[in-house]
Amino acid sequence: MQPLLSQACWDTLYMVGWSTLIAVVVGLPLGILLVLTDRGGLLHNAVLNKVIGQVVNIVRSMPFIILMVALMSFTRWIVGTTIGRDAAIVPLAVGAIPFFARLVETSVREVDGGLVEAVQSMGGNTWTVVRKVLVPESLPSLISATTTTVVAIIGYTAMAGTVGAGGLGDLAIRYGYQRFESQMMWIIVAILAIAIAVVQFAGDSGARVLHRRAGKGGEPFRFRKRAAFLPGGPVTADATATPGKTG
Amino acid sequence: MITTQGLTKVYRSRGREVTALDGVDLHVREGEVFGVIGQSGAGKSSLIRCVNLLERPTSGTVTVAGQDLTALAGRGARAGRELREARSRIGMVFQHFNLLSSRTVQDNVELPLEILGHSGQARSRKALELLDLVGLADKAKSYPAQLSGGQKQRVGIARALAGDPKVLLSDEATSALDPETTRSILELLRDLNRQLGLTVLLITHEMDVVKTVCDSAALMEGGQIVESGTVSELLATPGSELAAALFPVSGDASGEDRTVIDVTFHGESATQPVISQLSRTYNIDISILGAAMDTVGGKQVGRMRIELPGRYEDNVVPIGFLREQGLQVEIVENVAQEPVLLKEGVTK
Ligand SMILES: Nc1ncnc2c1ncn2[C@@H]1O[C@H](COP(=O)(O)OP(=O)(O)OP(=O)(O)O)[C@@H](O)[C@H]1O
Ligand SMILES: [Mg+2]
């Protein structure tokens, strides 16, 4: 049981690691491109924007299990097989890319257009804007997006287990569901829960540190006056108050 | 230094057309501070954004430091290399500062130098020098979120100066600041203008700003420049709205049989002697109803509203005397009528 479990842990880590990496490497530029090609964007291109948007929507609307099946021949073409942890990375990454790209899009859209303009006024080109403004300014939010994506991928790996990908999900199903050894299943559930908590905590901490530095909240206790007639007393300490743009 | 000819900007959105600029001929001389004033929607921001081609003019030309920027623009919406190079020689400061929150103050100032491809050492030397110039040497390692509005704008100005521009554009740089801070930022701009010979084109809502720092000013209305000139030229223009708004005088006649006149001084004659001379020569009592005077280049300029006893017919001679002194005299007939600009919440 012990070696089985540690092997499964490694398999899961392997699948999550690679598919996250691919999702970020492909999804980040895709998300940024969605913003840039949109109306009023620096690379405004209605056709490209529509095409990327539609592809992203279609992939996102597919249940993961269907995606796995649909991608079988593609997977075989890439890794030579449809079974095993390497094969599972393909549908995991393909599923995560549009998911992450949409999150990136939302994050990047929140960057103040004035900053883009400032860099343009200094003589920066589009690439400068992406490198010096869009990515660094949305970094806290991008870290949160990555966290969310990792958690989602961990969930998907359990499903990937059903097609012989290995990993914790696979083990849980084989032992817990097929052999009625519920102890193993509960151990795995605990491991997954802990893994997700750790990922979430790490991501949140990273995002919070950057956020605080950027002055987007987290200053020690800002007092905001509340109208006295409102329930909750006249003055409330609001630790997470977000100061306005003029800060 | 900055010249626009027949500058037109038409915004098209969802089939609707808005003409923001309608044939603007602007001329900003080298080394002067030029203020553009006007009501909201008059096209001021559109104008300043057309100067560095952040906004593409629909037609007309923009020349900065002898270089025709509109010729560099190319066809597409993207800025070519030549235009980007030209932009790097034009500094710009913004109402909301537009500092990168993810960078320290020093790194913000270094940003234009990174874009210009300067080495790390040269960048940090220049940035520290500029921060010293704007009085923020001790804040180099702070993040913008830790600064006050005035300090942020100083960083914005330091950043705008990093590329050694000859021209500085400022779109309501002080509108988000309190009066005290506004004054210190304006003084800074004025100092930079003098020390570095910087040409400044600034946009503002506040007459005080124009009065404090500008050599010349223009008034925009409906996408057109309706008045423009140096402050004393404007004063010398009868019926100038801008002059009236810059030097507002008010006050009603204290009774019937009184003549109220506005006297404009544009620096040739000193205020006090003329009025007392008038009083002595014609043996009349003069009451000053209001005055808005300023000292520009050691000379007194501005307007004064005075009241003379008797009807206009009785005062033809004294008024003639004032005109002989080279003063501009306007008879105020309907005192109740305030200048238009003043009603638009212009702070005084
Ligand atoms: N991007 C845009 N798309 C469409 N219309 C625009 C755009 N920018 C400005 N306009 C319109 O052009 C006109 C002039 O706008 P502009 O921003 O130049 O005015 P402004 O004088 O700077 O006003 P304010 O004092 O409020 O800043 C306005 O009617 C405005 O609605
Ligand atoms: Mg404006």
pLDDT for B26: 95
Task: State the Cα–Cα distance between residues B132 and B139, nearest whole angstrom.
Answer: 10
Which residues of A fall below an 8 Å CB-CB distance to B? 42-44, 112, 114-115, 117-126, 128, 132-133, 136-137, 139, 210, 213-216, 243, 245-247
B45 lines ligand 1 (CB under 6 A): yes
Tokens of B1: 């230094």
Ligand 1 atom nearest to B48, measured from its CA: 18
Tokens of A96: 């995560």
> Is B343 within a domain?
no
pLDDT for B271: 67
Assess whether B231 and B310 both reside in one domain: no
Sheet strand arrangement including B299-309: B287-296, B299-309, B258-266, B328-331
Assess whether B270 and B162 both reside in one domain: no
The residue out of B207, B236, B265 marking a domain boundary is B236
Assess whether B6 and B114 both reside in one domain: yes
Q: Which residues contact A44 (CB under 8 A, 6 or more apart)?
A: A36, A37, A38, B77
Nearest to A118 among B98, B143, B145 (CB): B98
The CATH number covering residue B317 comes to 3.30.70.260
Task: Tell me how many domains chain B contains.
Answer: 2
Local confidence pLDDT in tens for the 247 residues of chain A: 678 889 989 999 999 999 999 999 999 999 999 999 998 889 999 999 999 999 999 999 999 889 988 998 999 999 998 888 889 999 999 999 999 999 999 999 999 999 999 999 999 999 999 999 999 999 999 999 999 999 999 988 888 877 777 888 888 888 877 787 888 888 888 999 999 999 999 999 999 988 887 776 444 333 333 333 333 333 333 333 344 433 3
Assess whether B186 and B305 both reside in one domain: no
> Is B339 within a domain?
no
Nearest to B100 among A115, A117, A121 (CB): A115
Q: Which residues contact A238 (CB under 8 A, 6 or more apart)?
A: A221, A222, A223, A224
> Is B341 within a domain?
no
* Number of helical H runs and strand E runs in chain A: 11, 2
CB B157 within 8 A of CB B188: yes
pLDDT for B68: 92
> Is B267 within a domain?
yes
Q: Residue B48 belongs to what domain range?
A: 2-236
What is the DSSP pairing of strand B199-204 with strand B167-171? Answer: parallel
pLDDT for B248: 82
Assess whether B121 and B29 both reside in one domain: yes
Cα B43 to averaged position of ligand 1 atoms, centre (Å): 6
Assess whether B192 and B313 both reside in one domain: no
Assess whether B54 and B124 both reside in one domain: yes
pLDDT for A237: 37
pLDDT for A223: 38
Nearest to A114 among B96, B145, B159 (CB): B96
Domain chopping of chain A, boundaries: 2-246
Which residues crowd ion ligand 2, with CB under 5 Å? B 45
pLDDT for A244: 41
pLDDT for B346: 42
Assess whether B76 and B54 both reside in one domain: yes
B102 lines ligand 1 (CB under 6 A): no
Assess whether B173 and B305 both reside in one domain: no
Q: Which residue's alpha carbon is nearest to atom 5 within ligand 1? A: B11
Low-confidence ranges of chain B (pLDDT < 50): 337, 342-348
Tokens of A133: 């403004």
pLDDT for B235: 82
Task: State the Cα–Cα distance between residues A137 and B107, nearest whole angstrom.
Answer: 13
Q: What are phi and psi of B43, to 5 degrees?
A: 110, 15
B13 lines ligand 1 (CB under 6 A): yes
Q: Between the CA of residue A227 and those of A231, A233, A239, A243, what are the distances in Å?
A: 9, 8, 18, 19
Q: Collect all residues of chain B within an 8 Å Cβ-Cβ radius of residue A129.
A: none
Cα A36 to averaged position of ligand 1 atoms, centre (Å): 23
The residue out of B236, B267, B297 marking a domain boundary is B236
Q: Which element (helix H / strand E) includes A224?
A: strand A222-225
> Is B241 within a domain?
no
So what's the ipTM on this one? 0.84
Q: Which of B4, B11, B221 to mutate to test the pocket of ligand 1 (most atoms within 8 A of CB)?
A: B11
What is the DSSP pairing of strand B224-230 with strand B199-204? Answer: unpaired
Interface touch B163/A128, C-beta < 8 Å: no
Interface touch A123/B100, C-beta < 8 Å: no
pTM value is: 0.83
SS (HEC) of chain B = CEEEEEEEEEEEECCEEEEEEEEEEEEECCCCEEEEEECCCCCHHHHHHHHCCCCCCCEEEEEECCEEHHHHCCCCCCCCHHHHHHHHCEEEECCCCCCCCCCCHHHHHHHHHHHHCCCHHHHHHHHHHHHHHCCCHHHCCCCHHHCCHHHHHHHHHHHHHCCCCCEEEEECCCCCCCHHHHHHHHHHHHHHHHHHCCEEEEEECCHHHHHHHCCEEEEEECCEEEEEEEHHHHHHCCCCHHHHHHCCCCCCCCCCCEEEEEEEEECCCCHHHHHHHHHHHHCCCCEEEEEEEEEECCEEEEEEEEEEECCHHHHHHHHHHHHHCCCEEEECCCCCCCCHHHHCCCCC
Identify residue B5 by its one-letter amino acid code.
Answer: Q
Tokens of A193: 């829960």
Cα A233 to averaged position of ligand 1 atoms, centre (Å): 43
> Is B342 within a domain?
no
Task: State the Cα–Cα distance between residues B195 and A36, nearest whole angstrom.
Answer: 41
Q: Which fold has domain A2-246?
A: MetI-like fold (1.10.3720)
Chain B, nearest residue to A114 by Cα:
B98
